[in-house]
Amino acid sequence: MDTPTPSKSAWTKLQDSCFKPEILNMPGYSPPPQTAVRIKLDQNEAPDAADTNDGYIRWNRYPAFRHSALIKKIATHYCIADDRIVLGNGSNSLLYLTASAMLERGDNVVLAPPVFSLYETIAHISQARIINIPRNHDFSYNSEAMIEAAHKAKLMFIASPDNPTGYEMDLRLLEELLQTCPGFILCDEAYGEFSRQSAIPLLERYSNLLVVKTFSKALALGGARLGWLMARPEAVKQLNKAAIPYAVDDRTAMQAEDIMDNWQDVHKRIDQIMNERVRMAAALEMPGITVYPGQTNFLLCRFNNANAMFKALKADSILVRDVQSYPGLNNCLRITIGTPEENDRLINLIRGESHETIDIFT
């Protein structure tokens, strides 16, 4: 699949203004060439593998450097070229990677709270200047203010659908931001498989777009930690210079390949989760509770008394996420969609059918 290339002058301007000079001027890590040999003594590995249950993997050996087979499967599924992909040890590591390659003290980072708290953490660690553009009351974006802030941004973090609200950014607004922003926009699609839209097709038209995805949500591989970033090949080249070598182990890559070969299972899981989401949202629509719309594997709910609700659920051995510390989310809890049995138990408790020791609606 051929990849359109931006004009050299346009890309050079974007590259030089966004990537650190240290990144641009370094060659990046190059692994020693690997060939099939009888005796391998080139990487200071232990001569024998640790005793594990995974006898089919020689754990004393470093994993593949690039995991080309997995990258090819991802590229094929999402209809992009394989030179557009960077693998990482979870999508969070790719957020850090982007910041480490680009951000310096005083650079402008635009956020639209409430957002995933790690974006702010990464910006603070990078000593960047955070420009917050608060959402509207219904969690929609303040488009005019976002576009104005984009003029000054070196990096914008946008999640769609987002955590913790579940709100999606209109792709028309994203395009306006991409046309306005002199830096990069990182679109975090950790929950993207639950949505009917994606920014991936925009990679063909915008050199300043990065799209991050994860195996942790719809693909159900959270315990293994694996994510990937998609961008123009020129951006991938620079990001790879800052990447940690051998960040993805062989077993994780093999599991991910199996998942990519069995998308029928993924689609079945997504359908089950979204059907349960609709059922739960309908069951929880009652006085004292506001259930917000969204395209994710969770519900954002506002209660009259979220603290009492949280305690009541925990007393019944049900743990949900208290998100009241986020801007605009007072009295809000985030509830992950579980199994039908788990969801029934939660619904029954909230409706007052299994727990009466505390008044959760006052």
Per-residue pLDDT tens digits of the chain, which is 362 residues long? 444 556 678 999 999 999 999 999 998 888 777 777 777 766 667 677 666 566 567 778 888 889 999 999 999 999 999 999 999 999 999 999 999 999 999 999 999 999 999 999 999 999 999 999 999 999 999 999 999 999 999 999 999 999 999 999 999 999 999 999 999 999 999 999 999 999 999 999 999 999 999 999 999 999 999 999 999 999 999 999 999 999 999 999 999 999 999 999 999 999 999 999 999 999 999 999 999 999 999 999 999 999 999 999 999 999 999 999 999 999 999 999 999 999 999 999 998 854 444 454 44
At 229, which amino acid appears?
A: L
In a shared domain, residues 328 and 179: no
CA distance 82 to 177: 26
In a shared domain, residues 287 and 243: no
CA 59 to chain centre: 28
CA distance 212 to 190: 7
In a shared domain, residues 187 and 311: no
Range of the domain at 207: 8-25+66-261
Q: Residue 114: inside a domain, yes or no? A: yes
* Residue 16 CB neighbours (<10 A): 10
Q: In what order do the strands lie in the sheet with 332-336?
A: 289-291, 298-303, 332-336, 321-322
> Among 198, 227, 261, which residue terminates a domain?
261
Contact 322, 300 (CB under 8 A): no
The pTM of the full predicted model, rounded to 2 decimals, is: 0.90
In a shared domain, residues 272 and 193: no
Q: Residue 36: inside a domain, yes or no? A: no
Q: Which two tokens stand for residue 15?
A: 């590259």
User: What spatial distance separates the first Cα and last Cα of the chain, rounded to whole Å?
Assistant: 59
Question: Which residues are paired to 130 by β-bridges?
Answer: 109
For residue 49, count CB atoms less than 10 angstroms from its CB and return exposed for 0-12, middle for 13-18, buried for 19 or more: middle
Question: Residue 75's closest CA among 87, 67, 85, 65?
Answer: 85
Domains identified in the chain, total number:
2
What residues have CB less than 8 Å from 194, skipping those under 6 apart? 161, 217, 218, 270, 273, 274, 295, 296, 297
The pLDDT, as a whole number, for residue 40 is 72
In a shared domain, residues 19 and 123: yes
Q: Residue 275: inside a domain, yes or no? A: yes
> Among 244, 261, 278, which residue terminates a domain?
261
